Amino acid sequence: MKFFIDKEKLSYAIQNVQRAITTRSPLPILTGILFSCSGGRLNLSATDMEMSINCSVPADVIVPGALVIPARYIAEFSKKLPDVPIEFETIGGGNLATIRYGQSEFNINGYNAGDFPSFQVPEGEFSFALKAEEFKNTVRKVTYALSTDEARPVFTGVLLEIEGDQATMVATDTFRLAMKKFKVPASTPEIINVNVPGKTLNETVRVMGSSDTVRVTLSKNHIMFETQDTVITSRLISGRFPSYRQVIPQSFTCTLSASIREMLDSADRASLLAGEKSSLIVFQTRSEGVVISVRSENGWIREDIEACTEGENFDILFNVRYLSDALKACDGEDITMKLTGTYTPALLTSPGDDDYLSIIVPARTSKE
């Protein structure tokens, strides 16, 4: 293997693929990045066996070949390189990479490329392209509600449901739920219902860079996202995603509308006194507005928020983080909250974004 490459391109490709690597991998070779070059391109691949990221950049290839290079060294090293042409060379069939830059050189022991696991590229069964901005926005609006609890993997994924040209993404950790609908420029004869790892979606957003579009390809057990130069392939999460439709409340006894910014700032201040574990605040709807309050052994806070309220008044206990996350995910200036009672889920929407909703389940105090 021998090629020349720009520092910027090398560093870009390494940063794109690197996030697929788990440092606590049981297989040492999986802590490495597969470098392979041929036909004027350098291809980098990394995988944790659940997700793989592949990035292709132009290079001046002299001798095609492949080698796995430890990510820990090459990632840091590529950022520190000078702005001169960088030469990679592997002598014979050996696993030592020599990297030359100016008069200096770095030699690093790698792994045989033949031992790097090949990850299954799913045969596309259904495929469509989305505008990059729309994809990013949709992912941002739902992934905050994901669970990080690896013991319940089904909640660490985002449900992607497609019926005709209507798609829906849903995430929930059972304490809150976020749902965003969007159109796909293709139509599927049967209903698609898959659970995509949240990590895969977040990494796809991260590597999208200046790509205008992202192509999504679904197969039975995999999903693939393709941008300009990067391909992310991931297993889908197995196990049934809960039927979210019945969780969405349909009738309400109180509706209020307030400024997102104002409520977010009030919640933020109130969180200072809220306990560290449960972070509960009292949310009170009143005819003249909303009051958020917290009382602790160190003091108390009372935040008066201007709001238009209609219907009955309630006192509700919320986890302040759940309220803040939901408010942050909303576009526009105002939030509409619909409530039914002290112990029933609250529905949050924002005027002008009919395709989005989120739900927060109120907390119960230990006394109840």
* Alpha-carbon separation of residue 70 from 6, 50, 63, 96, 260 (angstroms): 20, 19, 21, 11, 46
In the three-class reduction of DSSP (H, G, I as helix; E, B as strand; rest coil), residue 271 is classed as: helix
| Minimal distance, residue 82 CB to a second copy, in Å | 6
Burial class (CB in 10 A: 0-12, 13-18, 19+), 270: buried
Residue 287 exposed, middle or buried by CB count within 10 Å (0-12, 13-18, 19+) = exposed
Quick check: 77 binds a second copy (CB under 8 A)? yes
Q: Is 102 in the site for a second copy (CB under 8 A)?
A: yes
Residue the block writes with tokens 């560290």:
276
Q: Find the part of the chain contacting a second copy (CB under 8 A) among 4-12, 28-36, 97-105, 137-145.
A: 97-105
**Site for a second copy contains 73 (CB under 8 A):** yes
C-beta closer to a second copy: residue 179 or 267: 267
Which of 298, 365, 366, 368 binds a second copy (CB under 8 A)? It is 298
Binding mask 171-210 for a second copy (x = CB under 8 A): ----------------------------------------
Stretch near a second copy under the rule CB under 8 A, chosen from 78-86, 189-197, 231-239, 325-333: 78-86
Compute and round to an integer the Cα radius of gyration of the chain.
25
Do the Cβ atoms of 16 and 230 come closer than 8 Å? yes
82 counts as binding a second copy under rule CB under 8 A: yes
- Taking contact as CB under 8 A, which single stretch among the options 27-35, 221-229, 299-307, 334-342 is the one that binds a second copy? 299-307
d(CA 163, CA 155): 22
User: CA of 122: how far to CAs of 33, 46, 221, 222, 236, in Å?
Assistant: 21, 17, 8, 6, 11
Angstrom distance (rounded) from CA 276 to CA 77: 40
Stretch of 71-79, 139-147, 235-243, 349-357 lying at the interface with a second copy (CB under 8 A)? 71-79
Position 92 contacts a second copy (CB under 8 A)? no
Per rule CB under 8 A, is residue 301 in the interface with a second copy? yes
Question: Is 333 among the residues that bind a second copy (CB under 8 A)?
Answer: no
Q: CB-based contacts of 142: which residues, under 8 Å, 6+ apart? A: 158, 169, 170, 171, 178, 179, 180, 329
Return the residues of window 104-163 that contact a second copy according to CB under 8 A: 104-109
- Per CB under 8 A, residues contacting a second copy are 70, 73, 76-77, 80-82, 96, 102-109, 265-266, 268-269, 272-273, 297-304
